[in-house]
Structure 1
Amino acid sequence: MAGLAIAESLMNPTTPFPGGPWKVYGAARRPMPTWFASSLVHDYITFDALDSENTIQKLSPVSHEVTHVFWVAFGQLFQSEQLNVTINSTMLTNVLDALMIKSATRSRLRHITLQTGTKHYIGPIFDPSLAGHLVRHEPPFQEDSPRLPYPNFYYALEDLVASYSSSLTYSVHRSSIIIGASSRSLHNALLTLAVYANICKHQGLPFKYPGNRYTWEHFCDMSDARVLAEQHIWAAVTESAKNQGFNCSNGDVFSWTCMWKVLSEIFDVEFVAFEESEEFDWIEMMKEEKAGSQVWDEIVEKHGLYKTKMEEITCFDALNVVLHFEFQHVCSMNKSREFGFHGFADTLKSVRMWVGRLRDMKIIP
């Protein structure tokens, strides 16, 4: 989600870059999907960042050109946050080492932007060994909050980029729930909701809210991928933003009551008000025969969509955790504004726009 928006922003001729227009290399483990416009990158490089030799082999030919890295990749296992620390630290170390290899041509790398998120303030909420034991910061989340006493791969990546401070600068971008367009993002909440709504519509099932009363009635925030891209690039070219961490949300809040009305309208399903007595497990619902991946296959075939499997494009388990929070998931944008970043978006309008993009990309009907 963030990668697509950053590529689009970098290729915009009005986007600032000292010395001329950006030359953009896209990089990922898998080949470029057909819905990703090749015009958004000058070249696309596939490699396995967990394999140091493969990373060096693929990146060393361009290492003399690369001045900025926009790091929006992450690997996450739900078994252990300590494993996440190892996986993510290894990937980023391999990439930075490959780009900073001492050769006849000196490395030009001077800045890395690091994508993290609000688990910085609420802890590793997907680690089952810590379920029910986490202590978090009180919202609205603020960047000067001390670190929590748990393993967290966000902390590890921040320490890693800071360790290169003698050679390059960095910025950290702590997003809220990202809304954007992608068929491969591990935590694409909007795509998960879109799949759920379309399955309900296809099956003639009520579009019930799967969270609790607290989230239904209280505030939450999101990060439009375009705002996130704008902040990444702003920090990359703004001297005062160097070696700083920033929250990045849209700057507004919403209740899930309002969001559910908007989603009901967008996907043409009847709005169903939350009823405590009707709380249900949508994860189990998706696992039932004819109610999950099988139905999504039918929808993909019926509408001639980009070939996806439900398990690859949804994050029901992760979103279920968010929809059962007992606190308001809200970030402060004060530091960003004080440093000169004023990007914002209307979240409910953003949702409509990104659903339109997902439809144009033939990922959802």
Structure 2
Amino acid sequence: MEKEPSSSSSPAVALIVGATGMVGLSLAEALNNPSTPGSPWKVYGVARRPLPNWFPASLLHSFISADALDRQDTLLKLSPIAHEVTHVFWVALQIHESEEVNVSVNSSMLSNVIDAIKSSGERCSLKHFTLQTGTKHYMGPVYDPVHGSKIVMHEAPFEECMPRLPYPNFYYAQEDVLASALPPEVTYSVHRSSIIAGATPRSLFNTMVSLGVYATICRYRGLPFRYPGSRYTWEHFCDMSDSRLLAEQQIWAATTESAKNQAFNCTNGDFFTWKKFWKAFCQVFDVEFDEEEECGFDVVGMMAGMEHVWDEIVEKHGLVRTKMADITCFDAVTVVTNFKFQHVCSMNKSRKFGFLGYCNTLESIPYWVGRMREMKIIP
């Protein structure tokens, strides 16, 4: 691996924007590992809400609660450390119903943080900016109520060389912000994830948490764990991105000269069918499902009346105090399990540039369920 030269007079200082999300937690853990490229790292974390009690505070030199959408708050909170930061890892996002709003909000957040770091002027130490996006780069705004039904997307497997689609997309807007706002001497990397597997209740699209809550309620109430997707996705290929692998690739790109100023897909490197995934999930949670049962179960409708059941489970097992609506998104689960195409990405470019990391998707299920139990998110 081709690494940046280290210097005792210029330590690596990371700022993780979105530190309490799935990849934020994995980044904080990885950057504290002495064997991680660029070590030793000094790690700052920033998020809009205060640091939760399930997050290991020891992973961060300091935590900063700041609203990146508020320009003045961002400048105020980040300016004291702006001159130190050498690497920014952007793993934050806000999702709204309209893609035009997504473009405005997420671009503003990114611009505000970049401007706050640049506010240190000649003392600015920034070397590299890491931006995490996703496969919506290739699919378009699939969640948008207006554009979503009209999209003609790229054919899978998705490759980084594919051109932009003619639809609004906040991922495109963020890449444009990087191109226009970063000083010319600062490098960047873009990391396009698939469905992310991780273990925090602060990521709206955390499929593992949503399915974990669903399975927990099914077991608690003695209900079958029915599949909300289509027969097509049940039988055809999909891929995922383990948050540990995303952290590994992002740090690799930030510390490898030949990987600078590039965009990379980042998936586990294998494929799965939801049929196999569902069986593995059932084993971990000891719930039952009928393989012959018709697909397309309305999980959104079922879970809409289960808030009080989740409250009972939280109380009974002494879990972290959460509201089901705050930690799950069954609309997103329904979307990804009802794709009409095989959701798979090519990892060829990443391998060609030297990143050979991988993860077994089905083996990651018991790992992340175990982490969620350790963190007392689920029983």
**Paired amino acid for 1:42:** H
Is 2:31 aligned against 1:10? yes
How does 1:282-361 map onto structure 2 within 5 Å? 282-288=299-305, 292-361=306-375
2:85/2:117 contact within 8 Å kept: yes
Q: Equivalent residue for 2:168?
A: 151
Tell me how far apart the structure 2 counterparts of residues 72 and 238 of structure 1 sit (CA, whole Å): 20
Q: 1:254-288: CA deviations, max 9, x gaps?
A: 00110111011100111321533x63311111123
**Paired amino acid for 1:147:** R
Q: 1:189-237: CA deviations, max 9, x gaps?
A: 0100001111111111111111010000001100010100000000001
Q: Equivalent residue for 2:12?
A: none
Tell me how far apart the structure 2 counterparts of residues 279 and 157 of structure 1 sit (CA, whole Å): 35
Structure 1 SS opposite 2:188: strand
Tell me how far apart the structure 2 counterparts of residues 145 and 266 of structure 1 sit (CA, whole Å): 38
Shift of 1:9: 0.3
Q: 1:137-190: CA deviations, max 9, x gaps?
A: 111100000100000000011111122251411000000000011011011001
1:274–1:235 distance in 2 versus 1, CA, 3 Å: farther
Q: Equivalent residue for 1:182?
A: 200
Q: Equivalent residue for 1:362?
A: 376
Stretches of structure 2 that go unaligned for 5 or more consecutive residues are 1-21
1:247/1:331 contact within 8 Å kept: yes
How does 1:1-365 map onto structure 2 within 5 Å? 1-17=22-38, 21-78=40-97, 80-103=98-121, 106-163=123-180, 164=182, 166-276=184-294, 279-288=296-305, 292-365=306-379
- Tell me the TM-score normalised to structure 2 length: 0.92
1:216/1:274 contact within 8 Å kept: no
Shift of 1:102: 4.6
2:83/2:120 contact within 8 Å kept: no
Stretches of structure 1 that go unaligned for 5 or more consecutive residues are none
**Paired amino acid for 1:338:** K
Give the ranges of 4+ consecutive aligned residues of structure 1 lying more than 6 Å apart after TM superposition. Answer: none
How many residues in Structure 1 have an aligned counterpart in Structure 2? Answer: 357
1:50/1:91 contact within 8 Å kept: yes
2:142/2:149 contact within 8 Å kept: no
1:139–1:274 distance in 2 versus 1, CA, 3 Å: farther
Structure 2 SS opposite 1:112: strand
Shift of 1:106: 1.6
Tell me how far apart the structure 2 counterparts of residues 42 and 141 of structure 1 sit (CA, whole Å): 38
Tell me how far apart the structure 2 counterparts of residues 274 and 130 of structure 1 sit (CA, whole Å): 35
